[in-house]
Amino acid sequence: MITIQGQGVSAGIAAGPLYYYRRVKSEIIRAAVQDRDAEWQRFKDAQAEAVRQLGKLAEKAKREAGDGAALLFETHQMMVEDLDYEKAIEEGIRQEGWNAEAVVSDVGARFAEMFATMEDTYMQARAADVKDVSRRIIGILTGTVQRGVHSDVPVILAADDLAPSETVQIDKNKILGFITEGGSGSSHTAILARTMGIPAVIGVGDRLKPEYAGREIIVDGETGAAVIDPDADVRAHMMKKRDDQIGLQEMLSQLKGRENVTKDGQSVRICCNIGDPDDVPSVLANDAGGIGLFRSEFLYLGCDDFPSEEFQFEAYKKVLSDMEGREVIIRTLDIGADKQIGYFDLPREENPAMGSRGLRVCLNRPEIFKTQLRALYRASVFGKLSIMFPMVTGVWEVREAKKLCEQVRRELDDEGIAYADDVQIGIMIETPAAAIMSDRLAREVDFFSCGTNDLAQYTLACDRQDGEPGRFFDPHHHAVLRLLKMVADNAHRNGIWVGVCGELGADLALTETFLSIGVDELSVSPRAVLPLRQKVRESNVAQVRDKLIGELTGDQIQP
């Protein structure tokens, strides 16, 4: 039995075989082949497998987000079998005698170059498709695992670290738990694990060894403990704890249908953070009042190319319809920093968290932004939509973004396409600049939602991805909490509401502080809704408000 200790970032206990996540190796070896017919057949087999994989992806997209969503994969299917493309590959293999992967790589690059130089913008966009399709065939030919988990049984997934783009593409039905060598509690991978309700332990370092693959492991996402080859006593103890947790969940489920109101009568909305239309059932199962943050960039992270307006429209429409008139706040694309997407070709930066990120990318690439805004406005007739901009630092950015919204609405008017006329516009307050300017920003928008993950990172000058800063990264730091109070005061002075959608929203040690400063909405992962409701209902804010605000604004030195 081997016990290793990390940091628990998504509560729950999971047991199963340990599976190591493998990444794509992209090195292509060029070689002349002896048997050209056999090599051609190898290509034909890989081509058939690519068509099969794309068919499955199209079906999945159709099931989860409608017909429009499947279009990209169907286009790719056609491209794999395109006669010109196939003929060029046949020449490279049969006439010139090169191995299939090298030929596919050459032909893919040549076709991409040809598309990229065409006049027509539609044809230009096909360059990325042909590259993607060629990558898929090469992956099959070289036997490198494209992505994800190739196991017949559900597993505990181990990795050095997982990028959000990797986490989002993994088949969730195959994952019982996560364990990673690196990472931090407010990284997007930890956030995703919490949203999916999957136990996760991070930061175990080199105590996690590849030779443990296939052995039984139990992870405790609360304490951060992981046990490999547990003995009978430890297994029994952990399983009892798991049963107790399930019992607690059942007890909390009695709070469904109850109000989020304190003993002294103060109400707060409790909503959920999601990253996928498929998360909606767990939002409803946990009786949340709405969606306070839909991280729309996860749609982009799950695609191999820019998601079309139609694909996005179907996804947003699904979330809005499934939420049946409850509030849905969709945050516009927040890529950059740890959420990098190859097809965006963002510049390489020394410090990406400080650079091209969130609204900055959207304002610099308005054509991409407008595609998303069109999809959002078109979907708005299916529910109660609010649009929220991330990574704001000042008033001009919000005005420019709102102008693009106006442009999109005018275009839809011209095309006779309907949209709701009550779509609210809000911003995330997640930079110190936005918090400090919140008195002015409040005049521009309908609401604020505080992203405490980034607000803490930028205020405390500690990278949220990095486990290292340790005690210096304290999200309870009064600098962060004072900023939140200032933002809440400025919001209310200007007649708008304020929420908290960062991970601190679920931190029960701060619930009374948030209520004391008048936060109107807390948006948390689905599993955190009922514990939070319980905490709110036990609280008496009138009794603690003066003391808590006094501590916050007074002389007390932390910790």
Catalytic (active-site) positions: 188, 501
Single out the residue of 501, 519, 532, 548 in contact with ligand PEP (rule: CB under 6 A): 501
Interface with ligand PEP, residue 292, by CB under 6 A: no
Interface with Mg ion, residue 338, by CB under 5 A: no
Q: How far apart are CA 121 and CA 132, in angstroms?
A: 18
Site string for ligand PEP, 300-339 (x = CB under 6 A): ----------------------------------x-----
3-class DSSP state of 190: helix
Single out the residue of 66, 336, 451, 499 in contact with ligand PEP (rule: CB under 6 A): 451
3-class DSSP state of 420: coil
Could you tell me the smallest distance in angstroms from the CB atom of residue 451 to ligand PEP? 3
Could you tell me the smallest distance in angstroms from the CB atom of residue 457 to Mg ion? 8
* 396 neighbors 430 (Cβ within 8 angstroms): no
DSSP 256: T
Structure tokens given for 208: 């996690």
Q: How far apart are CA 331 and CA 307, in angstroms?
A: 16
Interface with Mg ion, residue 451, by CB under 5 A: yes
Q: Which residue has the tokens 């630092």?
A: 393
Other C-beta atoms lying within 10 Å of the C-beta of residue 276: 20
With contacts defined by CB under 6 A, name the span among 48-56, 108-116, 212-220, 451-459 that binds ligand PEP.
451-459
Q: How far apart are CA 353 and CA 369, in angstroms?
A: 20
**Residue 524, CB half-sphere, CA atoms under 13 Å: how many?**
23
Q: Which is nearer to ligand PEP, 308 or 457 (CB)?
A: 457
Structure tokens given for 64: 């989860």
Q: How far apart are CA 423 and CA 329, in angstroms?
A: 10
Could you tell me the smallest distance in angstroms from the CB atom of residue 295 to Mg ion? 9
Judged by beta carbon distances under 5 to 8 A according to partner kind, the member of ligand PEP, Mg ion, none in contact with residue 452 is: ligand PEP
Q: Which is nearer to ligand PEP, 363 or 420 (CB)?
A: 363
Could you tell me the smallest distance in angstroms from the CB atom of residue 464 to Mg ion? 9
3-class DSSP state of 361: helix
Alpha helices per DSSP H over 143-204: 164-169, 188-196
With contacts defined by CB under 6 A, name the span among 102-110, 380-388, 449-457, 482-490 that binds ligand PEP.
449-457
* 217 neighbors 234 (Cβ within 8 angstroms): no
* 19 neighbors 113 (Cβ within 8 angstroms): no
Interface with ligand PEP, residue 499, by CB under 6 A: no
With contacts defined by CB under 6 A, name the span among 74-82, 341-349, 370-378, 450-458 that binds ligand PEP.
450-458
Interface with ligand PEP, residue 295, by CB under 6 A: yes
Interface with Mg ion, residue 430, by CB under 5 A: yes
Q: How far apart are CA 220 and CA 20, in angstroms?
A: 18
Could you tell me the smallest distance in angstroms from the CB atom of residue 257 to Mg ion? 32
Q: DSSP of 200-237, one letter per residue?
A: EEE--GGGS-GGGTTSEEEEETTT-EEEES--HHHHHH
The footprint of ligand PEP on residues 8-67 (CB under 6 A) is none
Single out the residue of 444, 454, 507, 521 in contact with ligand PEP (rule: CB under 6 A): 454
Interface with ligand PEP, residue 430, by CB under 6 A: yes
Say which amino acid occupies 288. A
Interface with ligand PEP, residue 195, by CB under 6 A: no
Could you tell me the smallest distance in angstroms from the CB atom of residue 375 to Mg ion? 21
Site string for Mg ion, 452-491 (x = CB under 5 A): --x-------------------------------------
Interface with ligand PEP, residue 452, by CB under 6 A: yes
CA dist 42 → 33, 91, 137, 343, 397 (Å): 12, 14, 11, 29, 53
Single out the residue of 221, 502, 526, 531 in contact with ligand PEP (rule: CB under 6 A): 502
Q: Which is nearer to ligand PEP, 58 or 462 (CB)?
A: 462
DSSP 537: H
With contacts defined by CB under 6 A, name the span among 68-76, 322-330, 446-454, 546-554 that binds ligand PEP.
446-454
Q: How far apart are CA 506 and CA 273, in angstroms?
A: 11
Q: How far apart are CA 69 and CA 72, in angstroms?
A: 7
CA angle 234, 239, 243 (to 5 degrees): 150
Single out the residue of 453, 465, 513, 534 in contact with ligand PEP (rule: CB under 6 A): 453
List of residues contacting Mg ion (CB under 5 A): 430, 451, 454
Contact footprint for ligand PEP (CB under 6 A): 191, 293, 295, 334, 430, 451-454, 501-502
